[in-house]
Amino acid sequence: MRPGLLLVNLGSPASPKTADVKAYLREFLSDPSVIEMPRALWQPILKGIILPTRSWRSATFYADSWTKQGSPLIVNSRAIHKKVQACLPNWNVRLAMTYGEPDIGQNLRALHQSGCDPLIVLPLFPQYTQSTHQGIIRQADATGLDYQLIDHFYDQPDYAKLLAAKLWAAYQQHDYDTVVFSYHSIPTAMVRHGDPYQQQCEATTKLVLNQLPDLPQRKVVTAYQSKFGPLPWLKPYLKNELMSLVELGKRKVLLVTPSFVTDCLETLEEDAVQNYQTFKASGGERLDITPLMNADPQFCRMLANLATQRLEVAQRDAQSV
């Protein structure tokens, strides 16, 4: 019997057209794991204000980063899927998205119907947070199938080594004043309610720096990006931090984005275009982004190893029953 592995990423609109972006945002921003405001209060705001004003603007951003093959997030996720499958020839590996297509439930049921056992779900998010993982869990639970969830991998030694290697290779290219570890932000209320994300982000930075004794830690700062809505999110916000660095005379900055494994709107548009423009307009000289994992063969092998390790645990547990 073949094991089944479902890789899951966030998702993307079907196209950069406003109607498709609106449909994607409606699904994404209707997820109670992402927006904790009571539905009766939030839905009128979403439908009456957010979607009409944000959809067309977001569509222009998606259009700027879209490729001939489609959404960069989808394209890179497919490449990861292909390489992980090659690393696991005796497995059935599928790819799904939390929002949009391919669907989590459909693919999990397809793995089950093909006779796969056990079923392992691996979100492509190094750190756990409610806002990324609970939507996956809810959809997987709705199938009624038993499955194993790998809910983080930030603390895997191979991940820290790979991230450190990419950071060090980029850092050596220029004389940078500052290295900014930029993580996707989440509402501070989630952290107050016990979400471990901030702690895991801080641990990620520490694990990476432990691999880089020659990188001066005085040059390293942490920031959070991609804030949405009026409520407070984890700070400092990246855009503000970049402007502050320029005021302090730090005009050559290297970004590393450990909460993103594939290039996406946040890295290609928010960082490489919007934050870059803000930094330059403030007087910055150089803002570079450390290459992401994408379909790096070593990263894909690490994901395959994670699945194999979880399979071994599942088999031991089954034997002990």
What residue numbers does the annotated binding site cover?
184, 266
Based on the domain organization, do 146 and 161 belong to the same domain? no
Contacts with 222 (C-beta within 8 Å, 6 or more apart), sequence order: 180, 181, 182, 183, 201, 202, 205, 236
The low-confidence residues of the chain, meaning pLDDT below 70, are 321
Based on the domain organization, do 274 and 207 belong to the same domain? yes
Based on the domain organization, do 283 and 190 belong to the same domain? yes
Name the domain count of the chain: 2
Based on the domain organization, do 134 and 189 belong to the same domain? no
Residue 95: the pLDDT is 98
Based on the domain organization, do 169 and 300 belong to the same domain? no
In a domain, 174, yes or no: yes
- Could you tell me the CATH number of the domain that includes residue 108? 3.40.50.1400
Strands (E), 27-125: 92-99, 119-123
In a domain, 39, yes or no: no
In a domain, 203, yes or no: yes
Based on the domain organization, do 172 and 285 belong to the same domain? yes
Based on the domain organization, do 101 and 141 belong to the same domain? yes
Domain, as residue range, for 180: 157-289
Residue 22: the pLDDT is 95
DSSP conformation letters of 152-205:
--TT-HHHHHHHHHHHHHHHTTS--SEEEEEEE--BHHHHHTT--HHHHHHHHH
Q: Are the C-beta atoms of residues 88 and 111 closer than 8 Å to each other? A: no
In a domain, 284, yes or no: yes
**Residue 140 is inside which H or E element, if any?**
helix 130-141
Based on the domain organization, do 9 and 146 belong to the same domain? yes
Based on the domain organization, do 166 and 124 belong to the same domain? no
First to last CA, the chain: 19
Most distant CA pair in the chain: distance in Å?
Answer: 64
Q: Are the C-beta atoms of residues 265 and 61 closer than 8 Å to each other? A: yes
Rounded CA-CA distance 157/214 in Å is: 19
The pTM assigned to this predicted structure is 0.95
Based on the domain organization, do 131 and 10 belong to the same domain? yes
Residues 243-272 have pLDDT tens digits of 999 999 999 999 999 999 999 999 999 999
In a domain, 45, yes or no: no
What residue numbers does the annotated binding site for Fe(2+) cover?
184, 266
Residues 115-134 have pLDDT tens digits of 999 999 999 999 999 999 99
Contacts with 24 (C-beta within 8 Å, 6 or more apart), sequence order: 11, 12, 13, 14, 99, 100
In a domain, 42, yes or no: no
In a domain, 256, yes or no: yes
Based on the domain organization, do 263 and 308 belong to the same domain? no
Residue 321: the pLDDT is 61
In a domain, 176, yes or no: yes
Residue 42: the pLDDT is 85
Based on the domain organization, do 120 and 229 belong to the same domain? no
